[in-house]
Structure 1
Amino acid sequence: MGSTAEGVHPPPLTAELNPPAAGKAVFEVRLTNFSGPFDLLLGLISKRELDITEIALAEVTDEFISHIRRMQAEHGSWALDEASEFLVIAATLLDLKAARLLPRGEVEDDEDIALLEARDLLFARLLQYRAFKEISRQLAERFEVEGERYPRDTPLEPAFTALLPELIWTTTAQDLAALAAAALQPREAVPEGVRVDHLHGSVVTIREQAGLLEAHLRNAGSLSFGELTADAAETLVVVVRFLALLEMFRDGAVSFDQDEPLGELRIRWTGGDEPFAIESVGADYGPDYGADGGSESVGPGTVDSTLQ
């Protein structure tokens, strides 16, 4: 890490870079090997033109204390921010000097290694200090320039406060009449209930299913209920075929056989060779049952009411 620190070359710092503010005393140090502003001393140290090991930090501290006392004697007070700033910089210089005084080839413990690794960080802190000093100088200049600007507090003249924008009216009497007619037009009456005549479910008729069952039973003679409903596409068809079988059983067209309780139900055709009167199926379901388009069309709701 020491070699990395040796390669740091910050831009040179001159006395003109940070000129003193008007009326503010500049802290200057007078040492054996240096005499001048403190900022210039930091610049020389940061760009390696002056070795930190050759600077007596104790004398620098004494010079700063004397500077503070002179300010207090002349102005009756001293700047706390300047004192805090000096303490930070002095601590950085002290750490940097300690790192420089360590023997480079005789590092034995982790603490010495950490101190050497912090050398680059110390130089970075010096550069950061210089950057903040430059920014503060530029801000001070901006504040000084902008401080000469004053807002205009004069209110608007009374002659202009009463002025209103010109009103451009483009609506005609016919437009107003049309708007009034649209607003007064009665609305469409709200329906009392929800219409469901547009909904179409699967239409399954008992008579149609009775005809299919008759054809299957005439050909096979006897079939189980599972065989009669094997081709049913949905549960509704199974229910309607069961209702059709009950109608056909009542008319004597089929008979039910079951060999054991809860066993398989078999349906046998007993209607003979005569055509089955399909028109009689469902005659007792209601006065309108069997009419054209009437209640013989069975949907989900019809099946529920029929089973009840």
Structure 2
Amino acid sequence: MTFTTKLEIFEGPLDLLLHLIKINEVEISDIPIATITDQYLEYLDLMKALDINIAGDFLVMASTLMHIKSKMLLPKQEDDLAEIEDPREEIVRSLTEYMQLKDAANELASRDILYRDVFKRGIEMKGGGEDITTTKVTLYDLMDDFKKVIRKKHPDIVLKFNAESWSIKKKMIEIIRILNEKKNLLLGDLFSTMESVSEMIATFLALLELIRTGFVNVFQGRESSDIMLEAINEKT
């Protein structure tokens, strides 16, 4: 039986684009559309390999990006350059408006008026006497780290998940057991003893479900890019 996680619970296509813009360290107003499009499609391929349901708006955005990319590759006549609208203009406008909405929502959240994120921020790490300020981790941050773990062990592997080989529920129980013992765990360490790609994918899917249902916190310290995991023993 196939296990699926609805991606809509986490993020949308504009969030993915903003994530790609961030990791490429470029301005929204000057998006390298060919690079961003290729990376966006890579993410969709990874989502399919992970058996994550992809909402229709992700596919619409993929089509839009490919259309813009093709338009920008077309040769332009010198006389027409001043009259041609930048094909990226509409998507830049959408991203700018979306960022403004997110900023406004974050401002409300900081005043305890709105709190909607599945992934917690400002987590107090266990096991130390000093509070550590943390920052939000998105699904795409998790996927980035997971890709690095996979590529480190299997540089040339084509991701494919054999759903019948591994029980997602058993993996969820295993993760909780590990986190209850370790308190805090680096994301990469969760996969350190695994060689099977299917087992790694099953474990990642189990982790996503535990995060979605509120049994695991995932966070980064501001002083480190390492993603940490922590079990939530009591729901608040």
Q: TM-score, normalised by structure 2?
A: 0.29
The structure with higher relative contact order (CA 8 Å, sep 6+) is 2
Q: TM-score, normalised by structure 1?
A: 0.24
